[in-house]
Amino acid sequence: MSKPAFPLNAWYAAAYDVELKRALLPRMICSKPVVLYRKENGTPVALADACWHRLVPLSLGRLDGDNVICGYHGLEYDETGRCVYMPSQDTINPSACVKSYPIAEKHRFIWIWPGDPALADPALIPDMHWNQDPDWAADGKLIEVHCDYRLVVDNLMDLTHETFVHGSSIGNRAVAEAPFDASHSDRFAYITRWMEDIDPPPFWRKQYGRPGKVDRWQIIRFEAPCTVTIDVGVAEAGTGAKQGDRSKGVNGFVLNTITPSTDKTCLYFWAFARNYDLGNQARTHELREGVAGVFREDEEVLEAQQRAIDANPDHQFYNLNIDAGSMWARKLIDRMIDAELKPQTGPHAVAAE
Ligand code: FES
Ligand SMILES: [Fe+2]
């Protein structure tokens, strides 16, 4: 059996907050069909999307209060997945239930934990606070990309591709030419790149709003297994941005979390947050649409890359200097997967006995 592509013991974004309503939303998360909905009080629920009786997807049924009614023979489940009604019989088979997943709403995303519920610690939800913070204006989208989620992680960990894929907006020669630093811890990998005294590319010229040279930064933080936040911006050249004074510039955060849907498809949730011109809703809208256009360029490359990988199954990737960040990211992902494959030892195994 080949190694799984993703760990299950992790929080994965399943939906944007605005997508989840008083309606049944089917999603494939880590190769598991899940149905999501909001209860009458607004709290989210995630259940396995397959009826206990004959496996018809519950998402084809309907909500009744906080319960889901299967659209085939009418079995009714409460929000914990327990069957509370069966047609034409008074006693309910005690084993009649569907799996319910740990779920949380935070920083505008609905997160679910597909693995062992006992390990679902809310403190492990990735930090995306810029997406819901009065000091930042943010918005974003969900894109469904037909590729292994790790290809998106690779893409974000190496921004030299901006020069070649996004030349009309955020890329220019300086990105591919500037050196970078790589570092990592158990759960995080970082790539930091400073481009000093450069002409900003068109996107940043517009955000900055002034002529002249800038110091530009990209500080990429990967949080295993699939969240990448990128601190980006430009400031007037030589005014100390690198040393910590960003007051002569503009700062954004590109927030990305990429949920494996299957081995070869993913749900790519992203947002762009800025800390300037906060009250300008038109700018929030324009930025979201502009960044969506940039990401469409990535999507084309990534889907073509996946098709090429499928057509060349024996070809190993070559790694260059620029791949340091993605190599660390993949190493941290592999560690999480390996930890799940090992026979359980340690405190959790004892507690489960
Ligand atoms: S398949 Fe759901 S009630 Fe029969
Ligand atoms: Fe890109």
Encode pLDDT of 28-79 as tens digits. Answer: 999 999 999 999 999 999 999 999 999 999 999 999 999 999 999 999 999 9
Token pair in block for residue 42: 């607004």
CA of 163 to the centre of ligand 2 (A): 9
Name every residue whose Cβ is closer than 8 Å to that of residue 234 and which is 6 or more positions away in sequence: 200, 204, 207, 208, 214, 215, 216, 217, 249, 250
Please check the confidence at residue 197 and state whether its pLDDT lies above 60.
yes
Question: What percentage of the chain exceeds 70 in pLDDT?
Answer: 97
- The predicted pLDDT at position 352 comes to 36
Q: Where are the beta strands (DSSP E) in 129-209?
A: 137-145, 180-184, 188-198
Q: 111 pLDDT exceeds 50? A: yes
The pLDDT of residue 347 is: 53
CA dist., res. 96 & res. 48, Å (int)? 13
Q: Tell me the ligand closest to 164's alpha carbon.
A: 2
* Residue 294 and residue 154 in contact, taking contact as beta carbons nearer than 8 Å: no
Q: What's residue 129's pLDDT? A: 98
Average pLDDT rounded to a whole number, residues 4-9: 98
- Confidence band (pLDDT; 50, 70, 90) for 330? very high
What are the structural domains of the chain?
12-122 (2.102.10.10), 129-339 (3.90.380.10)
Residue 350 has pLDDT above 60, yes or no: no
CB 46 within 8 A of CB 20: no
Q: Measured in angstroms, how far is the CA atom of residue 305 from the centroid of ligand 2? A: 14
Pocket test for ligand 1, best of 47, 49, 53 (most atoms within 8 A of CB): 53
For residue 346, the model assigns a pLDDT of 52
Element (H, E) at 265: strand 265-274
pLDDT at residue 353 greater than cutoff 50: no
Higher-confidence residue of 35 and 161: namely 35
Q: Which residue minimizes the CA distance to atom 4 of ligand 1? A: 73
User: Cα of 227 to ligand 2 centre, how many Å?
Assistant: 15
How high is the pLDDT of residue 65? 98
Nearest to 106 by CA among 117, 122, 86, 88: 122
Q: How far apart are CA 274 and CA 206, in angstroms?
A: 13
pLDDT recorded at residue 176 = 85
Q: So what's the pLDDT on residue 349?
A: 46
Whether the per-residue pLDDT at 286 is higher than 80: the answer is yes
Task: Please give all residues whose beta carbon lies within 6 A of any atom in ligand 1, as ranges.
Answer: 51, 53-54, 56, 70, 72-75
CA 297 to ligand 2 center in whole angstroms: 7
pLDDT band at 342 (very low <50, low <70, confident <90, very high): confident
Exposure b/e, 225-246, CB count within 10 A at least 16 = b: bbbbbbbbbbbbbeeebeeeeb
Question: Phi and psi at residue 142, in whole multiples of 5°?
Answer: -115, 130
What is the reported pLDDT for 105?
Answer: 98
Ligand 1 pocket: which of 75, 76, 86, 97 to mutate (most atoms within 8 A of CB): 75
Q: What is the pLDDT of residues 302-317, one digit of tens each?
A: 999 999 999 999 998 9
Q: Enter the pTM of the model.
A: 0.94
Query: From ligand 2's centre to the CA of 243, what distance in Å?
Result: 27
Mean predicted confidence (pLDDT) in 296-301? 95
- CB atoms inside a 10 Å sphere around CB 188: 15
As a whole number, mean pLDDT of residues 247-271 equals 97
Average pLDDT score over the chain: 94
Q: Give the closest residue (by CA) to ligand 1 atom 3.
A: 73
CA dist., res. 152 & res. 338, Å (int): 21
Residue whose C-alpha is closest to residue 332's, from 190, 155, 120: 190
| pLDDT for 344 | 65
The more confident residue out of 179 and 337 is 337
